[in-house]
């Protein structure tokens, strides 16, 4: 499951980005709802002062990641379609909690907006717990910075500016979300034995996926990649489309395709499919798909052939249609 989180100072456009996500069919979990529900449960008036007090109290009693932890069951429940947006991260502890829970499937998007534009939005939307003056907004900024907002902002994977009109902001958010909605993650894993040359194993991975980001810990190599086109070309150069297609079709599970490749032949850029009990352990490659049917990816990587030639070649743009 992929989790997309919007982070920004108060009134920067996080809630608007969440609504744009909902319009694209992406379920949204609003972190502020946890606080607002707690305010109502205690019979307090819903305003900025009470919301701030309750948020501080939750963090003091349950830890700085308290609200993030309370959100996780809701995120899991809504995540059955594979992607969820969470709106309202306020600090480093919350970012770290989500990273721990969702790993590389967590994407943090920062929304930048200057204070004048943010205060103008407060005046327009007239919500009960909104600030009533620019000084109140500055105080709210300082409160969120005490929770680690600045540091969390610096951890963002992407940044979207929101200092123009709504249509411009919407087009930016939609473009980012659509690129995530239809995407492919390549997840790679293999064991590195003491008798093996670590550099050669890394090279074997790079031979198939040059953009792979690789880490090795406790003798296990793990990597993530995005670009599948070099791997696709190798299948054609080696004229093994039929074999590759059969191996992929039988390894489909939900939104994933998992194949096992020979590590030794990979060091010379040769693709050789193997079983799980292969000597020195195989390279396990999982294609995790979002918004793309597994069969569509297989048609792109290894199409049906006639007389050794592809019957129909899919363009990359057609894969993501």
Q: Is 133 among the annotated ligand-binding positions?
A: no
Place of tokens 């620019």: 134
Q: Is 9 among the annotated ligand-binding positions?
A: yes
Give the Cα separation of 136 and 128 in Å (integer).
Answer: 14
Q: Is 15 among the annotated ligand-binding positions?
A: yes
CA torsion 166-167-172-176 (nearest 10°) is 100
Alpha carbon of 96 to those of 71, 91, 132, 306: distances in Å?
14, 9, 32, 51
Q: Is 14 among the annotated ligand-binding positions?
A: yes
Count of alpha carbons within 13 angstroms of residue 107, beta-carbon side: 17
- The number of angstroms, rounded, from the C-alpha of 12 to the middle of its chain's C-alpha atoms is 21
Which ranges constitute the DSSP H helices of the chain? Answer: 14-23, 31-41, 48-62, 66-78, 92-102, 115-125, 134-146, 149-154, 166-181, 198-208, 229-237, 241-249, 263-266, 294-301, 316-319
Give the Cα separation of 242 and 254 in Å (integer).
Answer: 22
Closest CA to 7 of 120, 149, 127: 149
Q: Is 12 among the annotated ligand-binding positions?
A: yes
Count of alpha carbons within 13 angstroms of residue 267, beta-carbon side: 9
Q: Is 281 among the annotated ligand-binding positions?
A: no
Binding residues for ATP: 8-15
Binding residues: 8-15
């Amino acid at each position: 499951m992929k989790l997309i989180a919007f982070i920004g100072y108060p009134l920067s456009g996080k809630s608007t980005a969440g609504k744009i996500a909902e319009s694209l069919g992406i379920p949204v979990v609003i972190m502020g709802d946890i606080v607002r529900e707690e305010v109502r449960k205690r019979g307090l008036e819903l305003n900025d002062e009470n919301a701030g007090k309750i948020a501080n109290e939750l963090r003091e009693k349950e830890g700085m990641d308290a609200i993030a932890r309370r959100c996780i069951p809701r995120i899991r429940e809504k995540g059955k379609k594979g992607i969820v947006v969470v709106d309202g991260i306020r600090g480093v502890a919350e970012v770290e909690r989500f990273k721990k829970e969702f790993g590389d499937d967590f994407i943090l998007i920062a929304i930048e907006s200057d204070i004048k534009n943010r205060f103008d939005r407060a005046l327009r939307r007239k919500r009960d717990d909104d600030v009533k003056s620019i000084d109140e907004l500055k105080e709210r900024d300082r409160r969120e910075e005490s929770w680690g907002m600045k540091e969390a902002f610096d951890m963002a994977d992407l940044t979207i500016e929101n200092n123009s009109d709504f249509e411009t902001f919407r087009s930016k958010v939609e473009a980012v979300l659509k690129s995530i909605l239809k995407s492919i993650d390549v997840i790679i894993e293999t064991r590195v034995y003491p008798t093996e040359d670590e550099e050669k194993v890394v090279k074997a991975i790079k031979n198939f996926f040059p953009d792979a980001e690789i880490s090795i810990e406790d003798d296990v190599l793990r990597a993530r990649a995005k670009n599948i086109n070099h791997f696709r070309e190798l299948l054609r150069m080696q004229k093994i489309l039929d074999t590759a297609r059969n191996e992929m079709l039988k390894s489909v599970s939900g939104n994933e395709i998992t194949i096992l490749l020979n590590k030794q032949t990979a060091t010379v850029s040769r693709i050789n499919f193997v079983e799980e009990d292969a000597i020195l352990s195989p390279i396990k490659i999982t294609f995790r798909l979002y918004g793309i049917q597994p069969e569509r990816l297989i048609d792109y990587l290894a199409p049906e052939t006639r007389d050794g030639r592809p019957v129909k070649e899919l363009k990359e743009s057609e894969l993501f249609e």
